[in-house]
Structure 1
Amino acid sequence: MTQSGSSLASPCFRQSLDRTKSTATSVRSVDVGLAPPPSLSCDTLQSVLEINSSQPSPTTSAASSSTLVSIASRKEGQQQLSTTRLLLAHIGWVACSFLGACSNRRFDLSAALTLFLATTDATIVSTILPTITLQFEASQNEYTWVSVVYMLTQTAFQPLYGKLSDLVGRRTVLYTSMLIFTVGSALCGAAQSITMLIASRAIAGVGGGGIVSLVWTITSELVDVQSQAKWSQALSVTWACSAVAGPLLGGLFSVFLNLPICAAAFIVLCFSLRSVQIGSESGTTWSKLWRTFDFLGLILFMGGSSCIVIGLNNATNLRADEATTITLILVGVVVLVSGGVYETRTKRDALFPPIAFRDLTIVLFIIFLHNFAFNAGTFYLALYFQGVNGFTPLEAGLAMLPYSLGSSLASMPTAWFIGYWQKRKMDTSGQKFVTCLGLAIACTGFGLMMLLGTQTPRILQSLFILIAGVGIGMLFHAPYQIFTRALRRRDVASGTSAFFLVRFTGATVGLAVAGAIYQAELTERLPTGISTSNVLQYLDSYPPQGFRPEVLNALALSLKTIWMVCCPFLGVALLISLFMRNLFTEEESGSVTDQEKYAGSMRSSELAPEV
């Protein structure tokens, strides 16, 4: 190692270097956690050692050490999964989710099942919640909190999952999250009051957040760069399909639904991951976690977000201009801004990788606004079909199929297009195109949804929400790929947690804002003597014909205001998406060092200096 100069001049090294360059993609795959192919010989490993010894950068040396540990610890000949097998596996998990059992699959199926749990639970109450509200005689504030509290707790622990998985292992954190989620789901099914239901949803959210974060983290580590598009595509399809299953299953049988899926996913996970090495040697210890983790940043971020969410939810019971509401929202904004400034200056391990504030800010804004509109749209669209159209929960779930099925189906061809375009151009221009197009379609769809009223024909209802759903579905896949492309390997876990921290925050704030808007508009439009807290009970009791149309019109106009807010938010996201940078994917240029990723280099890296 100390004689790197003479090694570079040796004929043996030149032969090894030629072999190394011919297997550049294979070396790259090792860097993200795959087993080396059988053709990667000891001579090649020696050349990699000599190449890295000639580069004095400590960051590069650390990356190469991680690569060698990964090479030494893997079994040769690990099978990579084809797109066909991934598609078949996802057809399998759909069947498993209904049957409550699963066949002998690998991590593709288990990951899909596990992700299906957490993402479906976020929307499964949308169609059944009006019925639950009637049963428990819940207020409008409690109605909103059933979903908001799940998203809030799902968000709160996101930054910890990455660090804890580095410390105690990916499997341990994933299995623990599944256990917490299962307990919370069981308590939801056994809830005898709206308060118990809200508390149980909070517990389920803690586990659901860990499931989402760990599934994406493990996937990014087990799959090489060339196959990451396929796997990200598969998980994105799962995420979008949960939008289909959530409202529909909520209308069918939401009580205890998650329990058999939890059992099936756990069994398949134990089988598929039993002999797979996950994660890297990070050197994390409990004492180091306590010394270096950004606890203050987490408190500031969650404190600010919670103040805003609570303030917006207070607006559903109080006037929007009440001092308490305004104070909470302003305090939340100030705390969040302070947290952002602190994150850029802290010496601890920041919640967000430094590059997120420099090159990825646009991506974070886009995913925030996307999930703002997606969750608000899904949640209150179900209320439109049940309240305005008078549908049952099952009928509402079926009526929402154009929206949710459009999201699911749109995510598949766009993901395949991204994979195809990425192989041709070797950059993220395909992801940028899909993101811009999806935002344009979603913005158009939500604009058309503003035409939904009490007399809108069913065919137009389906068409408008289909357009919105297609646009929303195109955005499940591309932003995550752009975000992770710029991350250093050692930042994958924390970066993934940061990505979903912003995604879940957008979903939480979206529900809270939509709830405040709905309450304020409904209070202003309802006839005198009718309370917003019992409007659904009022409609369910078949009031005199003279009052019913007025109440239905007030409900439809109040929901229309939500679409009016979502539409310009998506328009803003579209405008800023035009300024996203293209990043080279480096799939055929060799391994990219952590130092070059950190600097946001736009050029291909070289395996070794010219000799």
Structure 2
Amino acid sequence: MVTQTEPSTAERRAILAVLPGLVLVMLLAMLDNTIVGTAMPTIVGDLGGMQHFAWVATSYILASTITTPLYGKLGDLYGRKKLFITAILIFLAGSALSGLAQDMTQLIAFRAVQGLGAGGLMVGVMAIIGDLVPPRDRGKYQGYFAAVMALAMVGGPLVGGFFTDHISWRWCFYVNVPLGAIALFMIMAKLHTPKNTVKHKIDYLGIALLSGVSTALVLLTTWAGTEYAWGSPQIIGLAVAAGIGLGLFLWVELRATEPVLPLNLFTNRNFSLTAAIGFFQGFAMFGAIMFLPLFQQLVQHSSATNSGLLLLPLMFGMMSASMVAGQVITKTGKYRWFPFAGGIVMTAGMLALSTIDVDTSKLTTSLYMVVLGVGMGLIMQIVGMIAQNSVGPKDMGVASSTSMFFRSIGGAFGVSIFGAIFTHTLRSGLSGLPTDVADKLASSGARMNPADLAQLTTEAKTMFGQAVADATATVFGWGVVFTVLSVLLAIFIQHVPLRGGASGASDGAEKELVEA
């Protein structure tokens, strides 16, 4: 096996030449997860189809989740550059078509096209960095990407609100085209990756089963507690289908010549641990991002735009911690305790946020968010780097995509389960109101806006604010369970020297990979 060494000056120049394009692609991929939310009321007003509006997000998430592991594996088999360019082109086509949509059905379909491309964007960026940069130097670059992710999470709602209010909601999609074209030009001109000339056998059955399992899981977590009750035949059917599909998938992968998801990767302790940590982190992270703006708008009476600005402390904590951690890892080669420390800090942030109530000030909430953000920043990109360092170069793409896949599925489960907890707690807190009023408020809680709130009686308004505060605090209290689980898992991460480090480190890392 070829050992990666520290990049030469020429190699560094090549990395820096393509880095702006990769950063821009990462920004587009993350921005599109958040930019549409603030525009949805206006989109529904223009296009109609209120009963189908949830599918605007679901179709995108579903398509991107299904294709993420496929892009990772196919990139390993056939080379990354052409596949990455194809993903960008599909994403840009979907963006342009979404902006041109004339009804809700078209928008849902075109968002699915966007998702088919988006599945290859983030995994492509991470795998390409894995190809170009040895793990010892990878930390500082992944710190930059974590900063971009944090910026997109907070900036997306702000940009979406600005376009919707001052130009047109269609520019939430059109904006991707010029930015994506610039990134595409940079990638085509500056990216040089190894070409794979070996003939491969594609695992079609594994791809089909993985797609089916992913679809069942995403629909289950999206519909449970919203479209259908948790005990409904539809949700139970999806759960059964996911379980059977998973069993068949594992059976097929154990016998496939070139499995789409090589199960032997999970025999490596670090790879399995980081996948599980990513799953639990997704649980906590997406729950936080979903419910904090709700608390700020309905309890602290912030506007939608201001609630986006109030997430800046979370972004600041994530960016700062990610960049510092990346620099420290590059200089020292030590990474083992970062996921553990990040889990501890995330737990502290979750515990602090579980104490919020109607009297909690915006300053106090901001300080709690900084703590949570620092914990997230110490984990987010580090677990991906550890996963990549746990596998050989031929599995770099599938390692990156598997890490993202587990985080995405964890996020989907987190939003669904935390949403159910939120609604149950909210309904309990409104029990003192007349049944019809309580039912209306409980069913619309997550969609209630300040204008609607102003129309309530003083008694209902006070009780609703208290119930939302209690429900939000309860969600964060449950979030502690998942951050604690990530801490316990992080204890067992082994230190495998990062390839490309000091002398002897690379050999030790390669030996560990071979033995695994």
Tell me whether 1:386 sits opposite 2:297 in the alignment.
yes
Q: Give how far 1:173 is off.
A: 2.0
Distance change >3 Å, CA 382–CA 356, structure 1 → 2: same
Deviation at 1:230, TM superposition (A): 2.9
In structure 2, stretches of 5+ residues that fail to align are none
CA drift at 1:126: 4.8
| Counterpart residue identity of residue 529, structure 1 | D
Conserved 8 A contact 1:375-1:507? yes
Shift of 1:293: 2.9
Equivalent residue for 1:478? 382
- CA-CA distance at 1:435 after TM superposition: 0.6
> Which one is further off, 522-531 or 150-159?
522-531
CA distance in 1, matches of 2:298, 2:41: 8
Of 435, 439, 444, the residue aligned with 2:339 is: 435
1:240-269 superposed Cα distances (whole Å, 9 cap, x missing partner): 332232233233336324544542343354
1:361 matched residue in structure 2:
272
Superposed counterparts of 1:240-389, under 5 Å: 240-253=150-163, 255=169, 256-257=171-172, 259-271=174-186, 273-274=188-189, 276-284=191-199, 288=200, 292-312=201-221, 313-340=223-250, 342-352=252-262, 354-359=264-269, 360-389=271-300
Which residues in structure 2 correspond to 1:452-531 (within 5 Å)? 452-523=356-427, 525-526=429-430, 527=433, 528-530=435-437, 531=440
Q: How many residues align?
A: 497
Distance 1:80 1:317, change over 3 A: closer
Equivalent residue in structure 1 for 2:514, among 599, 604, 611: 599
Q: Distance in 2 between matches of 1:564 and 1:131?
A: 34
Report if aligned partners of 2:339, 2:490 keep a CA contact under 8 Å in 1. yes
Match of 1:589 in 2: 504
Q: Aligned partner of 1:370: which letter?
A: Q
1:448: how far off? 1.7
Aligned residue among 543, 557, 561 for 2:456: 543
**CA distance 1:114–1:539, shift in 2 (3 Å):** closer
Deviations 1:315-374 (A, max 9, x none): 213333334333433442453355345534544424145223432211110011112221
Aligned CA distance change for structure 1 residues 251 and 449 (closer, same or farther; 3 Å): farther
Change (3 A) 1:314 1:519: same
Report the 3-state secondary structure (helix = DSSP H, G, I; strand = E; otherwise coil) of the residue aligned with 2:335: helix
CA separation of 1:560 and 1:474: change in aligned 2, threshold 3 A: same
Secondary structure in 2 matching 1:120: helix
Distance 1:401 1:323, change over 3 A: same
Where structure 1 has 5 or more consecutive residues not aligned to the other structure, the ranges are: 1-26, 38-76, 87-105, 423-429, 602-611
Query: Is it true that 1:565 corresponds to 2:493 in the alignment?
Result: no
536-545 vs 110-119, which moves further: 536-545
Report the Cα distance in structure 2 between the residues aligned to 1:239 and 1:468, rounded to whole angstroms.
Answer: 15
Q: Distance in 2 between matches of 1:560 and 1:337?
A: 37
Secondary structure at 2:198 match in 1: coil
Residue aligning to 1:78: 10
Q: In 2, distance between residues paired with 1:144 and 1:405?
A: 30
SS in 1 for 2:360: coil
Mean Cα deviation higher: 179-188 or 368-377: 179-188
The answer to whether the Cα contact below 8 Å between 2:350 and 2:477 also exists between their aligned partners in 1 is yes
Counterparts of 1:213 and 1:496, CA distance in 2? 6
Q: 2: distance between equivalents of 1:163 and 1:347?
A: 13
Counterpart Cα distance in 1 of 2:300 and 2:103: 27
**1:95 equivalent in structure 2:** none
Residue matched to 2:33 = 122
Give 1:399's aligned amino acid. L
Structure 1 residues 143 and 323: CA distance shift in structure 2, 3 A: same
1: distance between equivalents of 2:53 and 2:370? 26
Note the alpha carbon deviations across 1:128-166, whole angstroms, 9 max, x for none: 557767888887x96765444433221101222134435
Distance 1:164 1:175 in 2: 13
The one of 158, 172, 176 aligned to 2:68: 158
Larger-gyration structure (1/2): 1
Q: Is the 8 A contact 1:28 1:224 kept in 2?
A: no
* Alpha-carbon distance in 2 for matches of 1:323, 1:355: 35
**What's the CA shift for 1:412?**
1.0
- Alpha carbons 1:144, 1:515 under 8 Å: kept: no
Q: State the one-letter code of the partner of 2:274.
A: V
Identical-residue share of aligned pairs (%): 25
Deviates more, 1:555-564 or 1:490-499: 555-564
Partner of 1:455: helix, strand, or coil? Answer: coil
Given the superposition, is the C-alpha separation of residues 556 and 329 from structure 1 closer, same or farther in structure 2, using an over 3 Å criterion?
Answer: farther
Rate the CA distance shift 1:343–1:512 in 2: closer, same or farther, 3 A.
farther
Q: How far apart in 2 are the matches of 1:180 and 1:515?
A: 32
Q: What SS does the corresponding residue of 2:436 show, helix, strand or coil? A: coil
- CA deviation vs aligned residue, 1:271-330 (integer Å, no higher than 9, x gap): 45426531342414xxx4xxx333333333343343333234132133333343334334
Distance 1:511 1:282, change over 3 A: farther
> CA contact under 8 A between 1:166 and 1:279: conserved in structure 2?
no
Q: Output the CA distance in 2 between the equivalents of 1:412 and 1:214.
A: 21
Q: What secondary structure does 1:78 align onto? A: helix
Relative to structure 1, the CA distance from residue 591 to residue 366 in structure 2 (aligned partners, 3 Å threshold; closer, same or farther) is closer
The CA RMSD over aligned residues, in Å, is 3.3
Given that 2:38 and 2:161 are in contact with CA atoms closer than 8 Å, whether structure 1 keeps it comes out as yes
Cα deviation, residue 534, structure 1: 4.1
